[in-house]
Structure 1
Amino acid sequence: MMMPLPQYYAKELHDSMRGSATDDRPIIEVLCTLSNDEIKMIKQAYNSKYSRSLEYDISGDTTGSFKDLIFPLFIADRDESFDLDPAEAQEDARALIGIGDLSFGSEKSTFLKILAERSFTQLQQIFIDYESMAGHGIEKAIENQYSGDIKDGLLSVIKCLRNSPVFFAEQFYKTVQGPEIDDKELIRLIVTRSEIDMREIKEAFVELYNESLENYISEDCYGCYKECLITLIS
Structure 2
Amino acid sequence: MALPLVTEECEAVIRAFSGLGGLGVDEKALVSALGKWRRQPEKRAQLRKSFVGFFTADGSFERCEDDYIRYLKNEFARFKNIMVLWAMHPWERDARWVHHVLHKPLPLDIIVEIACTRSSEELLGARKAYHALFHHSLEEDVAYHVRENYSNLLVRLVSAYRYEGNRINKEMATSEAEALYSAIKTPGVKKLVENEEVIRILTTRSKPHLRVTFKHYKEKYGKSIEEHLGDELCLRETVQCLDSPPKYFSKVINKALKDGADKNTKDALTRVIVSRADVDMKEIKEAYHQQYGAELEDVISKNTLGSYRDALLSLAGQ
Does the pair score TM above 0.5? Answer: yes
| CA deviation vs aligned residue, 1:99-146 (integer Å, no higher than 9, x gap) | 353737599222111111111111111112222333432223321xxx
TM-score by length of 1: 0.89
| CA deviation vs aligned residue, 1:30-55 (integer Å, no higher than 9, x gap) | 11111111111101111111111111
| Residues 178-187 or 121-130, more deviating | 178-187
- Measure how far apart 1:180 and its partner are: 5.2
Q: Distance in 2 between matches of 1:22 and 1:102?
A: 31
Q: Which segments of 5 or more consecutive residues in structure 1 lack a partner in the other structure? A: none
Q: Which residue of 2 aligns with 1:222?
A: 305
Q: Does 1:156 find its partner at 2:237?
A: yes
Q: Distance in 2 between matches of 1:89 and 1:185?
A: 33
Q: Which residue of 1 aligns with 2:74?
A: none
Residues 101 and 63 of structure 1: CA distance in aligned 2, closer, same or farther (over 3 Å): farther
Code of the aligned partner of 1:60: Y
| Residues 63-72 or 49-58, more deviating | 63-72
Q: Which residue of 2 aligns with 1:39?
A: 123
Q: Which residue of 2 aligns with 1:109?
A: 196
Equivalent residue in structure 2 for 1:93, among 164, 177, 184: 177
| Residues 129-138 or 165-174, more deviating | 129-138
Counterpart secondary structure, 2:185: coil
Code of the aligned partner of 1:153: C
- Measure how far apart 1:211 and its partner are: 0.9
Equivalent residue in structure 1 for 2:253, among 167, 172, 177: 172
Equivalent residue in structure 2 for 1:67, among 124, 130, 151: 151
Q: Which residue of 2 aligns with 1:11?
A: 96
Q: Which residue of 2 aligns with 1:201?
A: 284
Q: Distance in 2 between matches of 1:16 and 1:171?
A: 16
Q: Any conservation in 1 of the 2:177–2:213 contact (CA below 8 Å)? A: yes
Counterpart secondary structure, 2:303: coil
Q: Any conservation in 2 of the 1:17–1:23 contact (CA below 8 Å)? A: no
Code of the aligned partner of 1:123: L
Code of the aligned partner of 1:42: A
Q: Which residue of 2 aligns with 1:136?
A: 223
Q: Any conservation in 2 of the 1:22–1:62 contact (CA below 8 Å)? A: no
Q: Which residue of 1 aligns with 2:271?
A: 188
Q: Any conservation in 1 of the 2:143–2:152 contact (CA below 8 Å)? A: no
Counterpart secondary structure, 1:52: coil
Q: Which residue of 1 aligns with 2:82?
A: none
- The structure 1 segments of at least 4 consecutive aligned residues displaced by more than 4 Å after TM superposition are 104-107, 180-183
Q: Distance in 1 between matches of 2:145 and 2:185?
A: 27
Residues 127 and 11 of structure 1: CA distance in aligned 2, closer, same or farther (over 3 Å): same
Q: Distance in 2 between matches of 1:223 and 1:206?
A: 24
- Measure how far apart 1:94 and its partner are: 1.8
- Measure how far apart 1:160 and its partner are: 1.4
| CA deviation vs aligned residue, 1:144-195 (integer Å, no higher than 9, x gap) | xxx4xxx222211111112111100010000111235744321111111111
Q: Any conservation in 1 of the 2:91–2:122 contact (CA below 8 Å)? A: yes
Q: Distance in 2 between matches of 1:5 and 1:58?
A: 20
TM-score by length of 2: 0.66
Q: Distance in 1 between matches of 2:107 and 2:169?
A: 35
